[in-house]
Amino acid sequence: MSERTSVTFVQGRDRHARQQGRVVRRSRQSRGTPDRLSRIRAQGWPGRQPGQCRTQTTARRHPQNGGDEHLRQRPAHGPRPHHGSQGLILGHEITGEVVDTGPDVEFIKIGDLVSVPFNIACGRCRNCKEGKTGVCENVNPDRPGSAYGYVDMGGWVGGQADYVLVPYADWNLLKFPDKDRAMEKILDLAMLADIFPTGFHGCVSAGVKPGSTVYIAGAGPVGLAAATSAFLLGAAVVIVADLNKERLDQAHTFGCETINVALGEPKDQIEHILGEPVVDCAVDAVGFEARGHGHESEEEHPATVLNTLMDVTRAGGALGIPGLYVTGDPGAREESAKHGSLSIRIGLGWAKSHSFVTGQCPVMKYNRQLMMAILNDRVQIAKNVNATAIPLDEAPRGYHEFDEGAARKYVLDPHGMLARAS
């Protein structure tokens, strides 16, 4: 990529960049800052191929995300120097208003209120044409798949800043059809960038349908979004498991059965709820930082959730695995896990003819349909995940409380637009 086509400017509302007297000049360089929400600015840059514009997005709202917590909590995976920069701007859930467009942007207009899928996709490669936008082949020089503000995902600047670059704007952005109507439900719509489609994808992958019994491991925001999705798909019983009582209580508020795995193995508790120890479908919304069950609940056991899902899912069932797993985790307790190898009982899954679906959610496969469900009052995702808007300056408090297990999905609102909308 030439210097001319790679230049981008992170505009001057980033107070930390201002304090350092620094402007980020290359799209593949970024500077570590506290997580924040942005407004949206879109701009295509001269010299790009037709349609391959970049969009700077000043996102109005940016939820704090569990994926970012993985980076913060794991020094080996945390923000690290990238392409000569001093850090990495986090943030991959972006919602906002377009304030500028470049010459390659044909259909997105200034003033549009949009959702930005966390996957960056070109729209041209084989995978994008097949709807597999989570593994686009043209946006990450290291491997298929990319995201904003995430380590080893192409080096794209994250969205927790006042402006963010969004490439291929016409392809990637989901425009809300009625701006005023969208503002009335903007807290719900902010969930479309990641957690709602991700939870929905987990349930679709697990084969959830009317009458299904569903086990969801994890009562964080993605787990609660998966539980919401299971009901939207017609599930008869949704069982959410976690170690955190406050988060389990939140799941109970919208009709979920709950299991505290600190009290023992889920299978016994499932039998108490259903009268049998198995479910039709299961979703992993925990990932590689899983802990054990019962007396091992304070210890890290990265394969626990996957093995439990195989154990409690009926023969012939399916497992949706949107929970994050990594190719290597130098901070892991188990030596094998440091190299991305987990002690998975694959023979059990084989014997039960289970189907597995892993990987990033292809957000564009679901976000428009879920937007329509929100706008037409078929789902209240913000209420179910306890979405809570906080001012930008309180972002450190939001992260601290989330670290402590708060049953909330924090949404940073630097411009006070959520307050004005309410």
Q: Is the pLDDT of residue 263 over 80?
A: yes
Please answer whether residues 58 and 110 qualify as being in contact, where contact means their C-beta atoms are separated by less than 8 angstroms: no
Look at residue 7 in the predicted model and tell me its pLDDT.
Answer: 22
Q: Is 325 exposed, middle or buried (0-12, 13-18, 19+ CB in 10 A)?
A: buried
Backbone angles phi, psi at 387, to 5 degrees: -65, 130
Q: Is the pLDDT of residue 285 over 90?
A: yes
The CATH number for 202's domain is 3.40.50.720
CA–CA distance, 216 with 204 (Å, rounded to integer) = 13
Mean pLDDT (the chain, rounded): 80
Same domain, 262 and 333: yes
For the record, the structure tokens of 283 come out as 């979703």
Q: Is the pLDDT of residue 31 over 60?
A: no
Please answer whether residues 310 and 318 qualify as being in contact, where contact means their C-beta atoms are separated by less than 8 angstroms: no
Same domain, 354 and 370: no
Same domain, 415 and 309: no
Backbone angles phi, psi at 240, to 5 degrees: -110, 130
Instruction: Give the domain extent around 265.
Output: 195-358
Task: Single out the residue of 283, 290, 286, 285 nearest to residue 334, CA to CA.
Answer: 290
Please answer whether residues 370 and 192 qualify as being in contact, where contact means their C-beta atoms are separated by less than 8 angstroms: yes
CA–CA distance, 283 with 313 (Å, rounded to integer) = 10
Exposure letters 138-172 (e unless 16+ CB within 10 A, then b): bbbeeebbbbbbbbbbbbbbbbbbbbbbbbbbbbb
76 band by pLDDT with thresholds 50, 70 and 90: very low
Average pLDDT over residues 250-277: 96
61 band by pLDDT with thresholds 50, 70 and 90: very low
Rg (CA), the chain: 21
Task: Single out the residue of 172, 173, 141, 170 nearest to residue 155, CA to CA.
Answer: 141
Lowest mean pLDDT among 57-61, 252-256, 292-296: 57-61
Same domain, 27 and 156: yes
Domain boundary at 336, 358, 380, which? Answer: 358
Lowest mean pLDDT among 50-59, 84-93, 248-257, 285-294: 50-59
Q: What angle do CA 374, 378, 382 make, to 5 degrees?
A: 50
Same domain, 8 and 152: yes
Look at residue 347 in the predicted model and tell me its pLDDT.
Answer: 96
Its pTM surpasses 0.85:
no
The CATH number for 379's domain is 3.90.180.10
The rounded percent of the chain whose pLDDT value lies above 90 is 55
Q: Is the pLDDT of residue 309 over 90?
A: yes
Look at residue 276 in the predicted model and tell me its pLDDT.
Answer: 97
Same domain, 14 and 128: yes
Same domain, 236 and 182: no
The rounded percent of the chain whose pLDDT value lies above 70 is 79
Look at residue 242 in the predicted model and tell me its pLDDT.
Answer: 96
End-to-end Cα separation, the chain, in angstroms: 44
Q: What is the count of structural domains for the chain?
A: 2
Look at residue 299 in the predicted model and tell me its pLDDT.
Answer: 77
Domain boundary at 309, 325, 358, which? Answer: 358
Each as own residue / partner, the long-range contacts of residues 9-14 (CB below 8 Å, 24 or more positions apart, any chain) are 9/56, 10/56, 10/89, 10/157, 10/161, 10/163, 10/164, 11/41, 11/56, 11/58, 11/162, 11/163, 13/39, 13/58, 13/162, 13/163, 13/414, 14/161, 14/162, 14/163
Same domain, 151 and 210: no
